[in-house]
Amino acid sequence: MFTICLIMIRQRNWYLLVEGRVGGILGMAYVQCWLRLVSIVCLAILAVGSANAGLLLDIARGDESFANASLSETNVRAISWNQTVESRNVSISAYLRDNLGGDLLGNAYITTSIGIGTTTDSVVASSTFSAPFLNPVSTPVTIFTGLDLSPGTYYLVLQGPAGPFANNFSWYASQVTDVFAATGFSLGSNFFSLNTSADTTFAPASEFTAITIDLNYLIRIESVEIPEPGTAILLCVGLFGLGWLQRRSRLQSRENLG
């Protein structure tokens, strides 16, 4: 669609139509002024709309040392973040590994609250996830995609699979010295719930304890802007206006030289 629109706005007949019809009625100077304003506004809206696309929050290893925070049915862990802006088409990844091998699945939740008394009303998204066997710390595992998140505080809650061991899965954690946060985003706190404190039927309702040491579970939050019909229209209007103004400028230069 973009290619078709760009071809159309390059056709000389379109410019002549605007000049002949609109310019003849309103006056060319008036048309140029308003077209310049409309073009700038359309392109500015596009720029603002895509400002939150890309990397939003990334917690990378601060050094070579890291911890393997165990995940199982009774080992539930969570990390929070805050955002003051809306984000669209968000994907959320965590740095995980499967310590045992096999077709194991854990439970993942995005919620607006955690702790005793938390209900399913707080769940923004839920899913199951798997982790590659002995996955290296440098490789994130994508858990959620296509989320639209309004401003607020969110929690990523992970619960490992059921099994005889407490460390079926591990969530990499590190003393982080390098946290990337886009404008409007900030890292919150880390939590854990172990053994009898864990709610095995609904993990976000577990009795969580905040981690007080300098240790963060490793996550990555990204957003990918999806072009919509409105975006294409704004782009076409903006480019058409700028193209027409450029053509008028060249014509005026020739007239002045002549």
Query: 242 φ, ψ to 5°?
Result: -65, -40
Question: Of 194, 205, 204, 134, which Cα lies nearest the Cα of 170?
Answer: 134
**Could you give the angle at the alpha carbon of 195 between the alpha carbons of 190 and 197, nearest 5°?**
65
Asked whether residue 4 carries a pLDDT value surpassing 70, the answer given is no
Q: Is 50 helix (H, G, I), strand (E, B) or coil?
A: coil
CA distance 57 to 156: 13
Asked whether residue 212 carries a pLDDT value surpassing 90, the answer given is no
CA distance 192 to 215: 12
Asked whether residue 257 carries a pLDDT value surpassing 60, the answer given is no
DSSP state of 175: -
DSSP string, 7-44: HHHT-HHHHHHIIIIIIHHH-HHHHHHHHHHHHHHHHH
CA separation, residue 20 to residues 24, 31, 39, 205, 222 (Å) = 6, 11, 20, 68, 48
Asked whether residue 14 carries a pLDDT value surpassing 50, the answer given is no
Return the minimum-mean-pLDDT range out of 89-103, 115-129, 148-162: 89-103
Q: Give the per-residue pLDDT at 110.
A: 98
Residue with more model confidence, 248 or 218:
218
Question: Of 169, 166, 127, 165, which Cα lies nearest the Cα of 145?
Answer: 127
Domains, the chain, ranges and CATH? 2-8+25-48+229-257 (no CATH), 54-223 (2.60.120)
Asked whether residue 217 carries a pLDDT value surpassing 60, the answer given is yes
Residues 6+ apart with CB under 8 A from 108: 126, 127, 128, 129, 143, 144, 156, 157, 158, 159
Cα radius of gyration rounded to whole Å, the chain:
26
pTM assigned to the model = 0.69
CA distance 236 to 242: 10
Q: Give the per-residue pLDDT at 168.
A: 81
Going through the chain in order, the beta strands assigned E by DSSP cover 54-59, 67-71, 75-83, 87-94, 96-98, 106-111, 123-129, 141-149, 152-159, 169-174, 179-181, 185-194, 209-210, 216-217, 219-223
- Measure CA 128 to chain center: 20
